Amino acid sequence: MRADLTKADGRKLILLARKAISEYAASRKTMRSAEFPDKRGVFVTLNSYPSHELRGCIGFPYPVRPLGEAVCEAAVSAAFGDPRFPPVDGEEMKHILVEVSVLTPPEEMKGKRDDLPKKIKIGRDGLIIQMGPYSGLLLPQVPVEWKWNAEQFLEHLSGKAGLATDYWKDPRAKIFGFEAQIFSETKPA
């Protein structure tokens, strides 16, 4: 089941993410928002413009926070706390595209592992793998950007979790699917 947000909601979420980053840069405090009170999973992705290279991506896969609050926290974490990148500075934000992905609740994908690639629709499904202390998540847009098929998607998912690329075939690993409603800027701000 897809999220039911409008394009106008998406614009508000992007502006909220930008405002949260600006507020944090100025005050070192994460702002709160009463907008969008329903609990939803969400990821905020930052890409450099015009190259579209990843600059930060953090989120909450499960609906544990109100969406407005989760967007603020994820945006600040993507800009200042993604361990893969140095913190974003104010000048750099003028050259960053903000993308907000609102997730449906993840559901475990059951059945034979050999049948799993047939159940995945590229561009619609995001995936999570969990095995003991290891976990990894890839948003639905990732395999589209990299032109992966379903099996390559599963291999990269396993690798993202720090597991061997064929680990998705192990029946002990839990694999969850979700969908996302994606809102993104075409130009910064």
Render each residue's pLDDT in the chain as its tens digit; 189 residues: 455 899 999 999 999 999 999 999 999 999 999 999 999 999 999 999 999 999 999 999 999 999 999 999 999 999 999 999 999 987 899 999 999 999 999 999 999 999 999 999 999 999 999 999 999 999 999 999 999 999 999 999 999 999 999 999 999 999 999 999 999 999 998
Burial environment of residue 108 by CB neighbours within 10 A (0 to 12, 13 to 18, 19 or more): exposed
- Structurally, how many domains does the chain consist of? 2
Tens digits of per-residue pLDDT, 4-44?
899 999 999 999 999 999 999 999 999 999 999 999 999 99
Quick one: which of 174, 146, 147 has its CA closest to 161? 174
In a shared domain, residues 98 and 164: no
From 104, 132, 149, give the residue that closes a domain: 104
Question: Is residue 93 located within the same domain as residue 133?
Answer: no
Domain boundary among 69, 104, 139: 104
What pLDDT is stored for residue 90 in this prediction?
A: 79
Note whether 87 and 113 are same-domain residues: no
Q: Is residue 67 domain-shared with residue 120, that is, in the same domain?
A: no
Q: Are residues 68 and 127 in the same domain?
A: no
Total Cβ atoms within 10 A of residue 34: 8
Domain encompassing residue 127: 107-179
Asked if residue 1 is part of any domain, the answer here is no
Which among 104, 125, 143 is the end of a domain?
Answer: 104
Same domain for 166 and 153: yes
CATH of the domain at 41: 3.30.700.20
Residue 12 CA to residue 81 CA, distance in Å, equals: 23
Could you tell me if residue 98 is inside a domain? yes
Distances from the Cα of 25 to the Cαs of 11, 29, 43, 98, in angstroms? 21, 8, 20, 16
* 28 lies in the same domain as 11: yes
Same domain? 15 vs 93 = yes
Closest by CA to 67, choosing from 4, 126, 140, 127, is 4
Residues 83 and 38 in one domain: yes
